[in-house]
């Protein structure tokens, strides 16, 4: 992502409006509707969805956490939240920057469900010099 684009997002100066607020709402909606988009996923009672952003010089990190009272994991709901939030950032910024990419979508930690707690130990291809994250 171009540095001028991240600066415009941070200053809330994009033509289409408040990018991060819109992306946050889109991510929350996506988490709540994951079962309708993923054929083998089952409906889950989603309790809380948090979508947060970290703006760096040349990229925006998107992070989501999803809670449920059901006895199952909500990995797919979290992945939907992050992906749709990132797609919304792309959609709202594409007129200013067509070089954006969406990269390294992954589960970092989960708890609950049959498999219990799990944490990613490896570091993905994210680095502070990357200029292509959306």
Q: How much is the CA Rg of the chain, to the nearest whole Å?
A: 15
Phi-psi region of 112 (alpha: psi -120 to 50; beta: other; left: phi over 0): left
Spatial neighbors of 53 by CB under 8 A, at least 6 apart, are: 20, 23, 24, 60, 61, 62, 63, 85
Told to judge if 91 belongs to the known catalytic residues of this protein, a careful annotator would answer yes
In the set 18, 91, 97, 131, the catalytic residue is 91
Catalytically active residues, by annotation: 91
């Amino acid at each position: 992502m171009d540095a001028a684009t991240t600066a415009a997002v941070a200053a809330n100066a994009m033509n289409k409006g408040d990018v991060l607020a819109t992306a946050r709402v889109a991510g929350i909606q996506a988490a709540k509707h994951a079962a309708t988009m993923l054929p083998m996923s089952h409906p889950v009672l989603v309790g809380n969805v948090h979508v947060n952003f970290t703006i760096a010089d040349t990229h925006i990190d998107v992070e989501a956490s999803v809670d449920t009272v059901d006895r199952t994991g909500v990995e797919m709901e979290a992945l939907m939240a992050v992906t749709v939030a990132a797609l919304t950032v792309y959609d709202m910024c594409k007129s200013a920057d067509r070089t954006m990419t969406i990269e390294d979508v992954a589960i970092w930690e989960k708890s609950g469900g049959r498999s219990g707690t799990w944490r990613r130990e490896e570091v993905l291809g994210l680095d502070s010099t990357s200029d292509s994250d959306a």
